[in-house]
Amino acid sequence: MTAGRRTWSILFICWLLVTGATLGSLFFSEIMELPPCSLCWVQRIFMFPLAIILLVGLFPPDGSVVRYALPLALCGVATAVFHVLLQFGLIPESASPCQQGVSCADVSLALFGFVSIPVLSLAVFSAVAGLLYHSTRSGCQ
Protein backbone atom coordinates (compact mmCIF):
# COMPACT_ATOMS: atom_id res chain seq x y z
CA MET A 1 0.00 0.00 0.00
CA THR A 2 1.35 3.38 -0.94
CA ALA A 3 0.27 6.82 0.17
CA GLY A 4 -1.07 9.70 -1.88
CA ARG A 5 0.23 13.20 -1.51
CA ARG A 6 -2.47 14.14 0.96
CA THR A 7 -1.97 11.06 3.10
CA TRP A 8 1.75 11.69 3.12
CA SER A 9 1.20 15.25 4.30
CA ILE A 10 -1.08 14.08 7.09
CA LEU A 11 1.45 11.46 8.18
CA PHE A 12 4.16 14.11 8.08
CA ILE A 13 2.13 16.49 10.26
CA CYS A 14 1.44 13.67 12.71
CA TRP A 15 5.15 12.85 12.80
CA LEU A 16 5.95 16.51 13.50
CA LEU A 17 3.46 16.56 16.37
CA VAL A 18 4.67 13.37 18.04
CA THR A 19 8.34 14.21 17.56
CA GLY A 20 7.76 17.64 19.06
CA ALA A 21 5.90 16.02 21.96
CA THR A 22 8.67 13.44 22.44
CA LEU A 23 11.37 16.11 22.55
CA GLY A 24 9.18 18.26 24.81
CA SER A 25 8.66 15.40 27.25
CA LEU A 26 12.41 14.71 27.28
CA PHE A 27 12.99 18.41 27.91
CA PHE A 28 10.68 18.32 30.94
CA SER A 29 12.36 15.25 32.43
CA GLU A 30 16.02 15.63 31.42
CA ILE A 31 16.55 19.39 31.28
CA MET A 32 13.98 20.73 33.73
CA GLU A 33 14.40 17.57 35.83
CA LEU A 34 10.68 17.19 36.48
CA PRO A 35 10.30 13.51 37.44
CA PRO A 36 7.66 11.73 35.28
CA CYS A 37 4.87 10.07 37.27
CA SER A 38 3.66 6.58 36.42
CA LEU A 39 0.81 7.79 34.20
CA CYS A 40 3.29 10.03 32.36
CA TRP A 41 5.37 6.95 31.70
CA VAL A 42 2.41 5.10 30.22
CA GLN A 43 1.77 8.03 27.86
CA ARG A 44 5.45 8.13 26.91
CA ILE A 45 5.25 4.43 26.06
CA PHE A 46 2.51 5.24 23.53
CA MET A 47 4.09 8.50 22.32
CA PHE A 48 7.77 7.70 21.71
CA PRO A 49 7.26 4.75 19.30
CA LEU A 50 4.95 6.92 17.17
CA ALA A 51 7.91 9.16 16.32
CA ILE A 52 9.73 6.13 14.88
CA ILE A 53 6.81 4.28 13.28
CA LEU A 54 5.45 7.37 11.50
CA LEU A 55 8.91 8.24 10.20
CA VAL A 56 9.26 4.74 8.77
CA GLY A 57 5.84 5.20 7.14
CA LEU A 58 7.04 8.34 5.36
CA PHE A 59 9.87 6.65 3.44
CA PRO A 60 8.81 5.05 1.25
CA PRO A 61 5.31 6.48 1.67
CA ASP A 62 3.16 3.77 3.25
CA GLY A 63 -0.40 4.58 4.28
CA SER A 64 -0.75 1.24 6.09
CA VAL A 65 1.34 2.71 8.90
CA VAL A 66 -1.97 4.10 10.15
CA ARG A 67 -3.00 0.56 11.14
CA TYR A 68 -0.08 0.44 13.57
CA ALA A 69 0.01 4.06 14.66
CA LEU A 70 -3.70 4.64 15.32
CA PRO A 71 -4.01 2.06 18.15
CA LEU A 72 -1.03 3.64 19.92
CA ALA A 73 -2.55 7.11 19.56
CA LEU A 74 -5.94 5.91 20.85
CA CYS A 75 -4.35 4.25 23.88
CA GLY A 76 -2.53 7.54 24.45
CA VAL A 77 -5.81 9.46 24.29
CA ALA A 78 -7.40 7.11 26.84
CA THR A 79 -4.48 7.42 29.28
CA ALA A 80 -4.25 11.18 28.87
CA VAL A 81 -8.03 11.62 29.45
CA PHE A 82 -7.71 9.64 32.67
CA HIS A 83 -4.69 11.68 33.76
CA VAL A 84 -6.34 15.02 32.98
CA LEU A 85 -9.51 14.06 34.88
CA LEU A 86 -7.31 13.04 37.80
CA GLN A 87 -5.47 16.36 37.78
CA PHE A 88 -8.66 18.36 37.64
CA GLY A 89 -9.98 16.42 40.59
CA LEU A 90 -12.80 14.74 38.68
CA ILE A 91 -11.42 11.33 39.61
CA PRO A 92 -10.38 10.82 43.24
CA GLU A 93 -6.64 10.26 43.64
CA SER A 94 -7.28 6.96 45.35
CA ALA A 95 -8.50 5.69 41.99
CA SER A 96 -5.10 6.35 40.44
CA PRO A 97 -2.42 3.73 39.99
CA CYS A 98 0.29 5.98 41.41
CA GLN A 99 2.56 4.79 44.13
CA GLN A 100 4.96 6.64 46.33
CA GLY A 101 7.31 8.98 44.59
CA VAL A 102 5.60 11.38 42.25
CA SER A 103 1.87 11.82 42.56
CA CYS A 104 0.06 11.86 39.21
CA ALA A 105 -2.39 14.40 40.60
CA ASP A 106 0.37 16.95 41.22
CA VAL A 107 0.58 19.65 38.57
CA SER A 108 4.26 20.38 38.09
CA LEU A 109 3.85 22.75 35.17
CA ALA A 110 0.86 24.79 34.04
CA LEU A 111 0.86 27.21 31.11
CA PHE A 112 -1.88 29.84 31.33
CA GLY A 113 -3.02 28.18 34.53
CA PHE A 114 -4.59 25.06 33.03
CA VAL A 115 -2.35 23.67 30.28
CA SER A 116 -0.53 21.01 32.29
CA ILE A 117 1.70 18.35 30.79
CA PRO A 118 -1.15 15.77 30.53
CA VAL A 119 -3.28 18.40 28.79
CA LEU A 120 -0.51 18.86 26.20
CA SER A 121 -0.29 15.09 25.87
CA LEU A 122 -4.07 14.81 25.37
CA ALA A 123 -3.98 17.55 22.74
CA VAL A 124 -1.25 15.83 20.72
CA PHE A 125 -2.70 12.31 21.01
CA SER A 126 -6.19 13.54 20.02
CA ALA A 127 -4.89 15.55 17.07
CA VAL A 128 -2.79 12.63 15.85
CA ALA A 129 -5.60 10.10 16.31
CA GLY A 130 -8.04 12.41 14.51
CA LEU A 131 -5.64 13.07 11.63
CA LEU A 132 -4.71 9.41 11.23
CA TYR A 133 -8.36 8.38 11.22
CA HIS A 134 -9.13 11.12 8.70
CA SER A 135 -6.36 9.91 6.39
CA THR A 136 -7.99 6.47 6.11
CA ARG A 137 -11.36 7.77 5.00
CA SER A 138 -12.36 7.26 1.39
CA GLY A 139 -11.86 10.17 -0.92
CA CYS A 140 -8.51 10.74 0.63
CA GLN A 141 -5.66 9.72 -1.56
Partner 1 sequence: MPVSRLQIVIVAAASMALAFVLAAYIYSAQREDAIRAVSEAEDSPLEREYSVSEGPADARVVLVEFFDPACETCREFHPYVKKLLAAHPGKVRLVLRYAPLHQGSDTMVLILEAARRQGRFWETLEVMYATQPQWASHHQPRPELIWQFLPDAGVDVERIRKDMRDPDMMAVMHQDLADGRVLGVRRTPQFFVNGKPLLSFGRRQLKSLLDSEVAARY
φ/ψ (deg, to 5) at 111: -80, 140
Question: Computed from CA positions of residues 108, 112, 113, 114, in that sequence, does the dihedral angle turn out positive or negative?
Answer: negative
95 binds partner 1 (CB under 8 A): no
**Residue (of 121, 123, 140) closest to 10 by Cα position:** 140
20 binds partner 1 (CB under 8 A): yes
When binding is defined by CB under 8 A, the residue of 7, 10, 14, 15 that contacts partner 1 is 15
Of 28-36, 89-97, 108-116, 126-134: span binding partner 1 (CB under 8 A):
28-36
Residues 55, 41: Cα–Cα separation, whole Å: 22
Q: Which residues bind partner 1 (CB under 8 A)?
A: 8, 12, 15-16, 19-20, 23, 26-27, 31-33, 55, 58-61, 100-101
